[in-house]
Amino acid sequence: MLKFLLFVGIIIAIYYLFFAKKKPLKTPENDISLEEAMIPCATCGTYVQAKEALMSSGKYYCCSECLKNKDKK
């Protein structure tokens, strides 16, 4: 009986080592941080990283010039 259990254990170990599908590690799709996000300027539409953008009244701007000209568009 012990030989049979040892044989079954070896067969199971070989199966898991060679034939079992390994799930690839993948990052979550929504794992983009705010620092890496590219957002459009509210005035000119140029995309800029969120960490470099200027924010005023809930809108993002690429530079101080666009921030000054926000009412002209």
Domain annotation covers residue 6: yes
Compute the distance between CA of residue 62 and CA of residue 55 in angstroms, rounded to an integer.
9
Domain that holds residue 27: 2-68
Q: Is residue 64 part of a domain?
A: yes
Residue 17 lies in a domain: yes
Identify the pLDDT of residue 28. Answer: 59
Backbone angles phi, psi at 69, to 5 degrees: -95, 15
Q: Alpha carbon of 12 to those of 19, 22, 52: distances in Å?
A: 10, 15, 55
Q: How many domains does the chain have?
A: 1
Which pTM was predicted? 0.50
pLDDT tens digit string along 1-59? 889 999 999 999 998 888 877 776 665 566 556 557 899 999 999 999 988 889 888 89
On whether residue 73 sits in a domain, the answer given is: no
Residue type at 14 in one-letter notation: I
CA 24, CA 38: separation in Å to the nearest integer? 28
